[in-house]
Structure 1
Amino acid sequence: MHDAAFAADPHQVYDRLRAHGPAGPVELAPGVDATLVVGHEMALRVLQNSTLFARDARRWKALNEGAIGLDSPVLPMMAYRPNCLFTDGAVHLRLRKAVTDSLARLNVTRIRRDVEPIADYLIDQFSERGRADLLNDYAKLLPLLLFNKLFGCPADIGDTLTSAMSAIFDGKDALRANEELTACLMELIALKRRRPGDDVTSWLIQHPAGLTDEELKDQLVMLMGAGVEPERNLIGNALLLLLSPDTSGRDSGLLVEEAIDDVLWNETPIANYATHFPVQDVDLGGVVAEANTPVVISFAAANSDPALAEARRKHSKGAHLAWGAGPHACPAKDPAQVIAVTAIEKILNALPDLTLAVPEKELAWRPGPFHRALVALPVVFSPTPATRMVSALQNRTGSAAAEQPLPSVPASAASAGRQEPARKKGFWSSFLDIFRV
C-alpha cells in the first residue's frame, strides 16, 4: 500500500482483498504488516467495539520487539501519542471531552469569517499569474493558516507552526520539524496561560479537564494533524471533481456540497486509518488478526462495499465512513465541511473560468497508505488583479489604510511550502501584516 501502483488505483487492492473476505493482510510500508478491514459491516464492528479493539499503540508487538525501525515512514501516523486518537477508556473520555467542548464553541459564522480573508489572501498571491497549483498554493495552505487563527497564534509562532507542519506532511526532515513544532506549541501554551484569548488553545487550557502542558501540546498536534491533511484532500479532490471535463461538474450544475459528498464517498480524503490493536486473537471473517497487531480500517473500501450500492447511489450521508464511527468518530465533521465549502466557493467565484492545465489522466496521486491525495492540481484562468484583500479591508473597516500596497509571499514558497530564511516573513506573519483579525 506504499507504492505508486496503489496510489494510482487503490481499489484494485481493496477488490482483491474483498474477494476473500471482509479483511486481509497488507504491507503499509516496507516491513510494516497489518490487517486491512475492507467490509463496511466489519469496519463498524471494529470501530464500535473498544473493549476488544484498543487504540493504544503502545500495544504494538512488532514495534515493541524492535522489528520496525524508528525511521519507518508510517510511525508519525501510527505511534502512540497521549491524545484522543491513541487512548482508551477514561483517559480517552477526559481528553475527548476537552476537545469536543472546545470545538463546540466554533460556529458556522465564525468559521466562515475566519476562512474568507485567508482565502482572499492566498488567491491574491497567484491571481495575476493566470496559473496556479490549487493543491499546494491553496488547498494545502488554507487549513494551515486557519489553524493559526483558531489557535490564536502570534506571527512568529504561526510562521514556525506552518513551516513545521508542512515539513512533517511532506516528509522533509521530519525529526527537526517535530522538534520545532513541539517548541512553538509549548511557547504558545505558555503565552495563552499568561494572556488567554478567544481561541481554541485558551479554551483547552480553561477546560475543567485540567490538561497539563504536555497534554495540551498533544491535543493541538492531533487537531492539526486530523484537520490539515484531510481538509487539504477534501478541498483538492472536490475541486478536481468540479473541474473535471469527465464529470462536467460545474457545467452540469453540481453544487459544491454535492461535490464534497461525492468525494467523501468515492475519493475519501483519509482512505485508510483508525489503527486498532486487538487485545486478543480475533477472527475477522476468516482472517485471524493476532493480539497487539495493527488492524487498519479502510474507510474508502468500506464506502465502496457492494452492500452499500444503493446508499452510495443516493449519496446517503449517514452511511459512509469518511468521518469514522464509534467512540473515536471525527468530532469536527461539521466545521470541516463548512471550511471546505467556503474555500471552494471563494475560489470558484474569484476565478470563474478555472480550467485544468493538464488532462485529468496526467494528474498524479501521492503515494502513501493512509491518504487519497493529489500531488498537484495545476490550473489556468484569466489573470485578475490581486485586490481581494484590499476589498475585504474596505468592506470591514472603510479605512484609508486599506488602500496601502499589500505585501506578498514569494511564489516559489507558495508552490513548495518550504520554510523561508529567517529574514523573510512567513505566510502567517505576512497575512497578519495585512489583516489583523
Structure 2
Amino acid sequence: MNSPSLNGPHNDAAQAASGGCPVRSAAPGGLTRLYGPEASADPHNIYAQLRKQFGSVAPVLLEGDVPAWLVLGYRENKRVLDNPRQFSRDSRIWRDWEEGRIESTSPLIPMLGWRPDCVSQDGEPHRRLRGAVTDNLQALAARGIRRHVTHFANKQIDAFADAGRADLVAQYAEYLPMLVLTRLFGLAEGEGRRLATSCAQLMKGGEDAVAHNERIMQVLGELAERKRAEPGSDFTSGLIEHHAGLDEDEILSHLRLVLITAHNTTSNLLARVLQLILTHTTRLAGLVSGQLNVSAVVEEVMWNTPPLAVLPGRFATADLELGGQRIKAGDLLVLGLTAGNLDPEIRPDAGVSIHGNQAHLAFSSGPHECPGQGVGQAIIETAVDVLLHRLPGLRLATPAGELTATASTWEMRLDRIPVEFTPQPAAV
C-alpha cells in the first residue's frame, strides 16, 4: 500500500480488504472518516471495523478529508511512540503540508501544526525544552497542588451542595482542573471558565477551533508580559526564568501546551473516574470504607477509557512497513490509544482485571510521554476525596445505561453525570 491519498492506492486497499464488510462513516472514496456525526456516534465500532478490515494500522480521513494512518495495535503504537527517528513529531515533514494541501485555517492545525515547543521536536531541542517543563512541574508539585484542588473543589461543591442534586460534568469535572491551573499559572481566577471553554472547543475541532486557539494565545501572551514585570512562584515565571533560556515564542507555546493538555485530559479523566465509581457500587463502597484507593480506579479508567482516544500525531521520516502497511516518508500517523489499550492481541478478555498493570498507553510512551502525570493524579485524587467527603449518600440520578458521551476525532467526553445526595450546607 502506498501513501494515504484521496485518489490513490488507499481506495484500492479499502476495497480489497473490506471483503464486503461495510465501514460506517465512509467517505465517497471508501475511506473511513474519523470525524463527523457518524464517527462521533460510535467510535469504538469504527475502530473494530477498521481492525477487522486492515489489521493493526488502517487508512482514515481526518477533518477536511485529510488522509492519515490510524494505529490500532498496542505493539504498533509502542513502536511509533518509542522510535522518534522513524516517526517524528515534527510536522514540518508532513508531506500534505509541504505540498500545500493543508490550509493554515484547517481545524487540524491547532492539534498538528508545528510550534516551538517540546512536543513538536525531537532529539536535543526536545530535551532542552522538555527539561524546562518538567523542572517547573516538579517545582509546583513540591509546593503542594492538593491545597489548591481542595480550595476550588469545595468552592465548586458549595454552589450546589444545598440542592441535593447536581451534574458532576458541568458543575464539577468540566471546570475544576482549569481553576487549579489558573492558580498554578498565575492567572486570574475569572479567566478559568473562559479558557476551559476555549480548550474544549479546540479539541472538538470544527470551524471555531482556530479562533479559540487565538483566544488562548492572547490570554497567555498577556500573562507572560505581566509575569516578566512581576514574577512570582508560578509555572509561568518558572518558564521565563529557567536556565534553558526559552525565547518569547517558546514560553508562549509551552504555556499553551501545558494548559490545554493538562486541562482537557484531567477534566475528561475525572469525569470518567466519577462515572466508574458511581456505576459500580463496589468501587464507591471501597473508596468510602478505605479498602480501595482512587489511584486504582484511575488506573482502570486509563486502560479502558483513556482521556485522549486518539493522539496526534507522528510523521514517517522514511519509507517503512508498519502493521503490514507500506508507510511513505511524510505520511501522517495518529495513535489510537483507546484501540491500542483494548487490542485483543494483548487483552483477549477486556473484562479481566488489570489492577497493578501500568503499561497502558494513556500517557503516551517514549521520549514524549506526558510529563504532567503527577499533577493530573493529584487533581483527580483530591477532587474525588473532597466530593465523597462532602456529599453523603452520593448516587446516580439516572440509570447507568442512560449516560451518554460525545466524541470528536481526539477524545470522547461524557455529556453529563446527574447525581443525587443528602443536601449539605456550604463549607465554612
TM bracket, shorter-chain basis:
0.7 to 0.9
Q: Report what 2:411 is aligned to.
A: 371
Once residues 182 and 59 of structure 2 are traced to their aligned partners in structure 1, the CA distance between those partners, rounded to angstroms, is: 39
Structure 2 residues not aligned, in runs of 5+: 1-33
RMSD over equivalenced CA pairs, Å: 2.4
Question: What is the TM-score of this pair, normalised by structure 2?
Answer: 0.83
Cα gap change, 1:355 to 1:30, in 2 (>3 Å)? farther
How far is the alpha carbon of 1:2 from its aligned partner?
Answer: 2.0
Indicate whether 1:261 and 2:299 are aligned.
yes
Once residues 94 and 107 of structure 2 are traced to their aligned partners in structure 1, the CA distance between those partners, rounded to angstroms, is: 16
Cα gap change, 1:155 to 1:114, in 2 (>3 Å)? closer
Cα gap change, 1:368 to 1:155, in 2 (>3 Å)? closer
Indicate whether 1:18 and 2:58 are aligned.
no
Q: Report what 1:303 is aligned to.
A: 341
- Residue from 285, 292, 313 that aligns with 2:353: 313
Residues 178, 192 of structure 2: 8 Å contact kept: no
Residues 186, 213 of structure 1: 8 Å contact kept: no
Q: Report what 2:96 is aligned to.
A: 62
Once residues 278 and 218 of structure 2 are traced to their aligned partners in structure 1, the CA distance between those partners, rounded to angstroms, is: 40
Residues 199, 264 of structure 2: 8 Å contact kept: no
Q: Report what 1:224 is aligned to.
A: 259
Cα gap change, 1:3 to 1:173, in 2 (>3 Å)? closer
Once residues 254 and 160 of structure 2 are traced to their aligned partners in structure 1, the CA distance between those partners, rounded to angstroms, is: 34
- What is the SS of the residue equivalent to 2:96? helix
How far is the alpha carbon of 1:169 from its aligned partner?
Answer: 4.7
- Residue from 318, 330, 336 that aligns with 1:292: 330
Cα gap change, 1:133 to 1:299, in 2 (>3 Å)? same
Cα gap change, 1:12 to 1:161, in 2 (>3 Å)? closer
Q: Report what 1:179 is aligned to.
A: 214
Amino acid at match of 2:43: P
Once residues 380 and 153 of structure 1 are traced to their aligned partners in structure 2, the CA distance between those partners, rounded to angstroms, is: 33
For these two proteins, the number of residue pairs brought into alignment is: 387
Indicate whether 1:197 and 2:197 are aligned.
no
How far is the alpha carbon of 1:209 from its aligned partner?
Answer: 0.8
Q: How does 1:272-291 map to 2 (within 5 A)?
A: 272-291=310-329
- What is the SS of the residue equivalent to 2:59? strand
Indicate whether 1:110 and 2:148 are aligned.
no
- What is the SS of the residue equivalent to 1:105? helix
Indicate whether 1:325 and 2:360 are aligned.
no
Question: What is the TM-score of this pair, normalised by structure 1?
Answer: 0.82
Amino acid at match of 1:84: C
How far is the alpha carbon of 1:165 from its aligned partner?
Answer: 3.6
Once residues 122 and 25 of structure 1 are traced to their aligned partners in structure 2, the CA distance between those partners, rounded to angstroms, is: 43
Q: Identify which range, 266-275 or 63-72, moves more after superposition.
A: 63-72
Percent of pairs identical after alignment? 38
Q: Report what 1:238 is aligned to.
A: 273
- What is the SS of the residue equivalent to 1:265? helix
Residues 268, 299 of structure 1: 8 Å contact kept: yes
Amino acid at match of 2:300: D
Residues 196, 202 of structure 1: 8 Å contact kept: yes
Cα gap change, 1:307 to 1:178, in 2 (>3 Å)? closer
Q: Report what 1:411 is aligned to.
A: none
Once residues 176 and 36 of structure 1 are traced to their aligned partners in structure 2, the CA distance between those partners, rounded to angstroms, is: 27
Once residues 204 and 160 of structure 2 are traced to their aligned partners in structure 1, the CA distance between those partners, rounded to angstroms, is: 22
How far is the alpha carbon of 1:16 from its aligned partner?
Answer: 2.9
Amino acid at match of 2:251: L
How far is the alpha carbon of 1:119 from its aligned partner?
Answer: 0.3
Structure 1 residues not aligned, in runs of 5+: 392-437
- Residue from 175, 180, 183 that aligns with 1:149: 183
Amino acid at match of 1:336: G
Cα gap change, 1:156 to 1:194, in 2 (>3 Å)? farther
- What is the SS of the residue equivalent to 1:249? helix
Q: Report what 2:27 is aligned to.
A: none
How far is the alpha carbon of 1:37 from its aligned partner?
Answer: 1.1
Residues 183, 189 of structure 2: 8 Å contact kept: no
Once residues 296 and 267 of structure 2 are traced to their aligned partners in structure 1, the CA distance between those partners, rounded to angstroms, is: 17
Once residues 249 and 109 of structure 1 are traced to their aligned partners in structure 2, the CA distance between those partners, rounded to angstroms, is: 31
Once residues 122 and 284 of structure 1 are traced to their aligned partners in structure 2, the CA distance between those partners, rounded to angstroms, is: 47
Q: How does 1:1-40 map to 2 (within 5 A)?
A: 1-19=34-52, 20-40=54-74
Cα gap change, 1:123 to 1:156, in 2 (>3 Å)? closer
Once residues 29 and 295 of structure 1 are traced to their aligned partners in structure 2, the CA distance between those partners, rounded to angstroms, is: 14
Once residues 36 and 92 of structure 1 are traced to their aligned partners in structure 2, the CA distance between those partners, rounded to angstroms, is: 24
